[in-house]
Structure 1
Amino acid sequence: MTAFGPRMLRSLGPWATALMVTLAQPGVADSPDSPPPADAVITADAPATAAVLQPFTVNYRVNVSKIPTPIRATLTLTEAGDDQYRMGLAVKSMLMDNSEQSLFQWRNCQPHTLTYQHDFEGFRRERHHRMTFNWDTLRVSGHSSADDEGQDDFDYSITEDTLDELTMLLKARCIMQEGVSQYQLTSAYGKRLRTHFIHVVGEETMNTPLGRLRTIKFEKRRDQDSKRRTIFWLAPDLDYLLVRARHVEGTGLFGELKMTGYDGPYNALKK
């Protein structure tokens, strides 16, 4: 794994790890007293949008080119008071430590980031970002430190729909209501803005800790013609819960995230 570990695992953070964004939905319909049979596909009659979010914890395992690794990831969402939420992602092993934190407000089906930070250490590489979003002036400022880019303070303009890379997929449940097959998102990360091209490519039914779920398969590229891409599977009947994510670096080389545990509003669906 050391031959390609640094590039692959750094590619998993922040974007591929950001794919682990999972929303809990209030107002979920009452679940059956007993779990569904193994061949049943779970659906939930929940509204597509919500005024508030509910806390959750989701666990994932990281595989590299279908080879299991000891790397585990945990994504959490907690209430922070004053109409604010805090999302945190921790990806840890003996070889690396990747951590992201986003403090944001949820307004009109969009996360409005207040602060974002990303720290990566491993394989003799480091990356640290501290960012503050000012929505009154539509600017983001902060400090970046990376072994391949040095240290720098920054301050630049953003638009009303600019996201951070951890809460980016919170937009999926709103955008998909419009019946689109492709869309673009803009995120602020470190010293620059990033554009993400996202395509809906099909549906699959998967086994998960919550039973069998119908999922929509998305593909994301930073450039329309890029060979590097990220594929992710979201469960629309559970408010676009992330089931799996795969980041492809090249032929036969990819990192994959698989959900292994869940604690949140859908606990009653567990077998």
Structure 2
Amino acid sequence: MIKRSRILLTVCLLIASQIAHAGTTPLTPHTAEYQVNYGSIELGRARYILSVGDSNQFHYRFDSDVSLLMLSDQRHIRSEFTLEGNQLVPMRYSVERTGTGPNFREQIAFAKGQNVVHSRYKDERAKFPYDGQLFDPLMVQLQFRIDMEANKKELHYTMVKEGEIDDYGFNIVGKERVNIDSGSYQTLKFEVKRDSTKRQTFFWMAPEMSYLPIRLTHFEKGSKQLDITLLNYKYQPKTTTAIRESNQATHITDKAANSNADN
């Protein structure tokens, strides 16, 4: 009886997993948590949360807390954007970094009506002409996933980052099964285009999970520096209650972060 119950539970979990993936897109509200390692040393965790409001305004947030010996780094990143067709349209972006060494903030406002992008990184201010192909560094991840689902061939993106305009290109390496602590995933492997092989960054996304990132590995001169792996994820229905709770949680977290910064 116990053995049959375990088998039934396993089947139910598999069915529930398939149901959870059915009908999802990169813009389905979700939470994904990752473990961050330096080589084989665990540094901490990072979490992504995507929510959407009634006016088709999306809120994407990233929170990380990593440390190594006496060194620490905490980051809170926020992105707000809308959707027009298959194109994400950025609105606001902010970064707050605290920990060992100098703290800093970054803020970007995409003023489409004024045809200008305002940027403030640390104490430096800058302006750039508004371009419909510009992204912020956080929401561009979602645009990448949207483009993969649309079978887009050219994976090239321009973003405002740290007071500058940066261009990033990506190559598809091929299909690969990834086995990590949270499970086994059939993925598509990508590499960041660079002129030099001294720095290499690879990442793996699962097509059956709307190209949710499964793993990212970064090498410096052939030595693995960062290894980020998926711990857990959860898709949430687009309900008013879920949106309200997510926005309230964001407001409370931001308020606490601002209070700590002021102190």
What interval of TM-score do these two structures reach, taking the shorter chain for normalisation? 0.7 to 0.9
User: Within 5 A, what are the aligned runs for 1:147-226?
Assistant: 151-176=123-148, 177-178=150-151, 180=153, 183-207=155-179, 211-221=183-193, 223-225=194-196
How far does residue 118 in structure 1 lie from its aligned partner after superposition? Answer: 1.1
| SS of equivalent residue, structure 2 residue 45 | strand
Match of 1:78 in 2: 51
User: Within 5 A, what are the aligned runs for 1:4-153?
Assistant: 34-36=12-14, 46=23, 53-69=27-43, 71-93=44-66, 95-145=72-122, 151-153=123-125
User: Within 5 A, what are the aligned runs for 1:222-241?
Assistant: 223-225=194-196, 227-241=198-212
How far does residue 226 in structure 1 lie from its aligned partner after superposition? Answer: 5.4
Structure 2 length-normalised TM: 0.74
Question: Who wins on radius of gyration, i.e. which is larger?
Answer: 2
Match of 2:231 in 1: 260
Distance 1:63 1:111, change over 3 A: same
Distance 1:159 1:229, change over 3 A: farther
Structure 1 length-normalised TM: 0.72
Gaps of at least 5 residues in structure 2 are 1-9, 238-263
Distance in 1 separating the partners of 2:145 and 2:227: 22
Letter in 2 for 1:173: R
Q: Figure out how many residues of one structure are paired with residues of the other and give that number.
A: 221
Gaps of at least 5 residues in structure 1 are 1-31, 146-150, 267-271
Which one has a larger percent helix, Structure 1 or Structure 2? 2
Distance in 1 separating the partners of 2:230 and 2:96: 23
| SS of equivalent residue, structure 1 residue 178 | coil
How far does residue 236 in structure 1 lie from its aligned partner after superposition? Answer: 0.8
Distance in 1 separating the partners of 2:197 and 2:93: 27
How far does residue 106 in structure 1 lie from its aligned partner after superposition? Answer: 1.9
How far does residue 125 in structure 1 lie from its aligned partner after superposition? Answer: 3.0
